[in-house]
Amino acid sequence: MTIQMLRLMRNALFAIALIAPGIQAAEGKGPRKTLTIGISQFPASFHPLIESMLAKSYILAMTLRPLTIYDAKWKLVCLLCTQLPTFENGLAKKVELGKGKTGVELTYTIHPKATWGDGTPVTTKDFIFTWKVGKHPLSAVGAVELFRRILKIVPNGPKSFTLTYDRVTFNYNEMSGLMPLPAHLEAGPFKRPRDYKDLTTYNTNPTNSGLYFGPYRISQLVRGAYVVLERNPTWYGKKPFFQRIVVQVIPNGASLEANLLAGGIDYIAGELGVTVDQALSMQQRFGSQFKFVYKPGLIYEHIDLNLKHVALRDIRVRQALIYAIDRQKISKALYAGRQKVADSMIHPLDPHFAKGIKTYRYNPRKAAALLDAAGWKLKGRWRHKDGRRLRITIMTTARDRARELVEQILQSYWRDIGIDARIRNQQARVFFGVTVSERKFPAMAMFAWLSAPGSVPRSTLHSSMIPSKENNFRGQNYTGFVDKEMDKLIDQAEVALDAEKRRRIFRRIQEIYVTKLPVIPLYYRAAPFVLPKWLHGVVPTGHQYSSTNWVEHWYAK
């Protein structure tokens, strides 16, 4: 019986192996009309405003376009609008709102040919509807600040409207969060605002062509597995090269790599694919087969220092911690120098980056001297003060291999100057959900911030943003940093319209940041794009607006 069964199995395997290559070869023939992209996550929802998720914005950027966006050169441009409103061109005007408050009126014109996939034009009505959804307290929209700040939207016709914003900020005309919803499809589900998150057409029928007006529309999807995007015939811009784009979800770096090598996918998205170390390892082995692009981005890896800690209250100890670590060497050893060492929280590509501010290079002698000066003297292996050992705990997200590796290297550097650094990691939901957000980390918390170009660091550095039980844990100033000058500068930065003045303010903000050092800057994370040699036109941005916002410029050659 056993031998018969084995024979049967052998024959079956042989038959499958014979037909299998034929199936694959049939797929590979003909001109390239399909591009298959591998990403590591499947979106929870396709609604543009509900749930903030990178996988969702990556896919939706091929199907929808916001009014404005930061391009790959980090410059604010129109995508759905025809002209950016400015004070100079008269499309932006300051208005008195009463009680001494000043706002701004902004006039936007929607692209005249912008049309939803079912043939309905994209109009002012859609924007007014979107605003109503966005500000409704029961609509489950995450970031509603933008919608709250818009006081009114007045239509000037089907394709133009003027909105009133409740304040004048330096980025007053940036409306990247204003992604229109199709009122003709969504008004029905929104009649029950509390259930809207479940009833929205983006969830009940995501392949409805009327939901999209971008170069592609979602034509097919299997949740957790893949999304198929077909060219949208109503798209008003450049005709995309690829007839079809398939976004395949493979939640594992090694499997993504195997799929790329096996031809299951053509391209690993830099925004949501493999880590830098995985890409470097791939490049070593298969460098000649693919193009590797490492785009330095706005993801700022850093260590928040809890300034309640007895030793970390002293600025000399904080400086000693950074002098004791060789960040250049870490970046070179682990990431082949692809992750640029950060000198402050502002990225060098950001227009507000200040050159020539204080930097910290590896200097263990200086670190030791600073600790001596602070009263932490070496006794045996460790430093002590008032009978207490200099012990600090560093925490990060468990199972993040890259961060855990960096932690161990840092621990060894600090041990060399007599600091007893202990590692204690937690699951992301506990780490971010409680430990960091409620400032329960005893000394150091290592994580990353993702921000937009030109962001004002109010939530992370203003003294009113220190989370506590009294303010219901409002704010992200987890270090507990208090500096009156910094508070004043942040208030000024938000409303400084003059670019030169704003640069001066940001320079001072960065000077205080690196001098007082509430945070140890580590590096800016790079996004590794692994592209086939025949794919052209993909321009990584380095910020949170993904390269797919310009997917119509991608082509095969």
Partner 1 sequence: MIAFIARRLLGTFVLLLIMSFVIYALIGLMPGDPIDIAINADPNMTPEDAKRLKAIYGLDQPIVSRYLAWLSSALQGDFLFSRLHNQPVFDVIMPHLWRTILLMTISFVLATAIAIPLGVWAAARPRTWADYTVNLFCFAGKSMPAFWLGLLLILLFAVQLRAFPASGFETVGDGSVGDVLWHLFLPVLALTLLNIAGITRFMRGEMIGVLRQDFIRTARAKGLSNRGVLYGHALRNAMIPIITILALEFGGLFSGALITEIVFGYPGMGKLIFDAILGSDFNLAQAVLLFTTLVTLLANLGADVTYAAVDPRISYS
**Binding residue (CB under 8 A) for partner 1 from 48, 177, 240, 532:** 177
Tokens 């910020």 belong to: 543
**Binding residue (CB under 8 A) for partner 1 from 77, 151, 154, 254:** 254
284 near partner 1, judged by CB under 8 A: no
Rounded least distance, CB 246 to partner 1, Å: 5
**Binding residue (CB under 8 A) for partner 1 from 232, 339, 425, 451:** 451
226 near partner 1, judged by CB under 8 A: yes
Of 442 and 475, the one with the shorter C-beta distance to partner 1 is 475
Full DSSP string of 369-401: HHHHHTT-EEETTEEEETTEE-EEEEE-BTT-H
Binding to partner 1 (CB under 8 A): which residues in 53-112?
53
DSSP state of 239: P
Q: Interior CA angle at 315 toward 310 and 317, to 5°?
A: 65
Tokens 């930061």 belong to: 70
Of 386 and 470, the one with the shorter C-beta distance to partner 1 is 470
Which of 71-79, 149-157, 259-267, 271-279 is the region at the interface with partner 1 (rule: CB under 8 A)?
Answer: 259-267
**Binding residue (CB under 8 A) for partner 1 from 35, 37, 47, 417:** 47
Amino acid sitting at position 359: T
Site string for partner 1, 472-491 (x = CB under 8 A): xxxxx---------------
Convert 167-225 into a string of H (helix), E (strand) and C (coil): CCCCCCCCCCCCCCCCHHHHCCHHHCHHHHHHHCHHHHCCCCHHHCCCCEEEEEEECCC
Of 283 and 476, the one with the shorter C-beta distance to partner 1 is 476
**Binding residue (CB under 8 A) for partner 1 from 32, 45, 332, 491:** 45
198 near partner 1, judged by CB under 8 A: yes
140 near partner 1, judged by CB under 8 A: yes
Tokens 């912008």 belong to: 114
Which of 207-215, 221-229, 347-355, 361-369 is the region at the interface with partner 1 (rule: CB under 8 A)?
Answer: 221-229
220 near partner 1, judged by CB under 8 A: yes
Of 372 and 491, the one with the shorter C-beta distance to partner 1 is 491
Phi-psi region of 157 (alpha: psi -120 to 50; beta: other; left: phi over 0): left
Rounded least distance, CB 250 to partner 1, Å: 4
Q: With CA atoms as reference, report the closest residue to 440 among 400, 480, 405.
A: 480
Rounded least distance, CB 369 to partner 1, Å: 37
Q: With CA atoms as reference, report the closest residue to 207 among 195, 199, 219.
A: 219
Strand locations in 23-91, DSSP E? 34-39, 68-70, 76-78
Tokens 């060789």 belong to: 326
178 near partner 1, judged by CB under 8 A: no
**Binding residue (CB under 8 A) for partner 1 from 79, 106, 146, 466:** 146
Q: How many CB atoms lie within 10 A of CB 45?
A: 17
556 near partner 1, judged by CB under 8 A: no
Of 92 and 466, the one with the shorter C-beta distance to partner 1 is 466
Rounded least distance, CB 275 to partner 1, Å: 16
Tokens 């950027």 belong to: 61
Of 5 and 387, the one with the shorter C-beta distance to partner 1 is 5
* Tally of helices (H runs) and strands (E runs) in the chain: 17, 21
